[in-house]
Chain A
Amino acid sequence: MRLYKILKNTLLVLMACLALTACATKKEVSNVQGQMQGDVYTGTDTVEYLADGVPDRVFFATNESILTTASRETLRAQAGWLRKNPSINVVLEGHADERGTREYNLALGERRANAAKDYLMTYGISSDRITVLSYGKERPVDSGSNPLAWSKNRRSVTVKAN
């Protein structure tokens, strides 16, 4: 009888533990899911605005430089803003996450910023107004070592040059 009681208590504690762990894991997953699609960052907490409704950055998948639908929307907004402000020039700063070799990441950052540049140009922005600068993995915005942090760091940021 006593043994049964001990067993029952242990089991209860065990179950409680399991429930808690499940909860914690679930919460983290949904959190990340809300801010990432595939492994592209879709959140907003690092984004700054060049003007009202004009986000300054676009995000990329691991090892990729393809613009997502959301990125193209952001860049169209930037192109509109640049057309309205013809005296403003910009620097496109391309970045990579920390999970790649330094030299390759420098090239990858350049490729990402150029993907953004090409898109701005197809929306009528002259290449004279755009400078590309790659930082590779040298200037992360999020210093964490986790998939969400890395997704925020794989980016091209449009910065006013003047």
Chain B
Amino acid sequence: MQLDAKTLDTLAWLSRLNIPEEETEALSESIAEMLTFFQQLSALDTQDVPPTAHIAPLENVLREDIPAETRLDRDLLLSGTESEDGFITLPKVIG
């Protein structure tokens, strides 16, 4: 299976990755290899197999609409990120 340059660009954009020019060829080959591997699945006839929604035989795992009695402290919640005045700080977002 082949992976053209345009598809690689799209994948890179969707993953928000900058792929250096010199790595594109090797990366294309690696991804093509993975696709070929997964392509083995196409050999199976799934004509009469219903789509799988979940691998576990479970349904309706639901909770009641009851608020938590205690809350995590904001300082703890934000301890893994930069913050200011209780907001998570980010680079400037336009729009």
A and B from one assembly? no
Interface of A with B (CB < 8 Å)? none
Interface of B with A (CB < 8 Å)? none
